[in-house]
Amino acid sequence: MKQIIAITNQKGGVGKSTTAQALGAGYILKGYKVLFIDLDPQGNLSYTLGGKTSNYSILEVLDKQVPALQAIQRTEGGGDLIPSSPSLSGSDIQLNQTGKEYKLKEAIEPIKDRYDYIIIDTPPALGILTVNALTACTWAIIPAQADTYSLQGIGQLYNTINAVRQYCNPSFIIKGILLTRHNTRTILSKDMQDMIGETAKNLGTRLFITTIRENIAVKEAQAYRKDIFTYSPKSNASKDYQDLINELEGVK
C-alpha cells in the first residue's frame, strides 16, 4: 500500500526536516521509491537534498500553474523532491479558494502510484499548508522534544487534527510522537517524557519506543547536504532513525 506521511508539529526546531530526510533516506536504502515534498517556506529539507531554486516549486503545483510531475527534481540520494519556495509564507492569503484544504491531495493524485512513500515536511505553523498535508496523508508523525514548549505545541496541534479528521480526512492516523534531540540522563527529560506519553494517549496515539538522541553528526550531515546514513552510518542518530523505521515496520 502506498503511504503518504506528514511530519508535523507547529513548534519549530524539533527536527521535522531532519526526520523527514532521515525517514526517506532509510526507505530508499531499503529499495523503496520515495518522493519528498517540502511545504516549509524555510526550505531546509529542499536545501539539504540539493533542490534547485530555479525550477518549479510546490507553490506552483498548489496554485495549479504546473502539474506535480513537472515540478519533480531528482536528488543525489536517489529520491525525488518537489521543493519549497519562500513565497509559501503567503500561502494562507494566496490559497484562499473553495476547497483550499484539498490542493495538495488533488495535486499528487496523478503521481502517487509512482512511489512507495511520499514524505511531506510541514512548516512550524497550523495554517493552510499543514492542513493540506494532513488532508493528503495516510498517517503522520509528530516530532517533539522533551520540554514544555513541545508539549504546548502538541496540545495546539490536537485541535487542528480533530478538525481535519472531521471535515477533510477522517481515515488518517497519528502513528506516534517521536522524541528528538533527547537526553535520557536528565530528570526533567524523564518527567517530560512521561507527560508527553500521556498527551499521546489523549491524541489516540502513542509515544514511540525509539528516541532520537542528541548528536552532532546530524548538524554535520546537514552542513554537507548528506543524509545521516551516508554521512555517518555508525552514529547514534543513524542507529536511532534505523530503529524508528524498524519500529514503524513492526520489526523488533
Look up residue 106 and give its amino acid.
Answer: E
Q: Are residues 15 and 180 in contact, defined by beta-carbon separation less than 8 angstroms?
A: yes
Per-residue pLDDT, 251:
55
> Which segments of the chain have a pLDDT < 50?
187, 252
Closest CA to 37 of 156, 102, 125, 130: 130
Per-residue pLDDT, 177:
93
Query: Nearest 5°: phi and psi at 100?
Result: -60, -25
Residue 220 CB-density burial (10 A; 0-12 exposed, 13-18 middle, 19+ buried): middle
Per-residue pLDDT, 117:
97
Please write the tens of the pLDDT for every residue from 194-217.
888 888 888 889 999 999 998 899
Per-residue pLDDT, 96:
75
Q: What span, in angstroms and rounded, lies between the C-alpha atoms of 139 and 114? A: 18
Q: Which three cell numbers stand for residue 28?
A: 530508499
Number of neighbouring beta carbons within 10 Å of residue 112: 16
Query: Nearest 5°: phi and psi at 114?
Result: -75, -15
Consecutive H or E run containing 120 = strand 117-121
Reported residue count of the chain is 252
pLDDT, mean over the chain:
90
Could you please state the CATH topology (level 3) that the domain comprising 3-248 is classified under.
Rossmann fold (3.40.50)
